[in-house]
Amino acid sequence: DNFFCNICSSIFVIILTIGVLIVYTTIGSTLHLGIILKLHTSSNTSLLHLSSHSRLRAYC
């Protein structure tokens, strides 16, 4: 009976660890994606700003 309890607890711990790891990786990847997207959009807007500025300068 005690042996069975030990197996159950170890399985529970393993499942818990896997679940935590999955949650952490999911949160980490979403944060990473968000940061990448933010950087990407900011770089795109700066590029657009630069291009519009150069166009204005060319017109003048």
C-alpha of 50 from chain center: 29
The pLDDT value recorded for residue 4 is 79
What count of Cα atoms within 13 Å lies in the side-chain half-sphere of residue 53?
Answer: 6
For the chain, 60 residues long, give each residue's pLDDT as a single digit of tens. Answer: 688 788 888 999 999 999 999 999 999 888 888 887 887 777 777 777 777 777 767 765
pTM for the model stands at 0.49
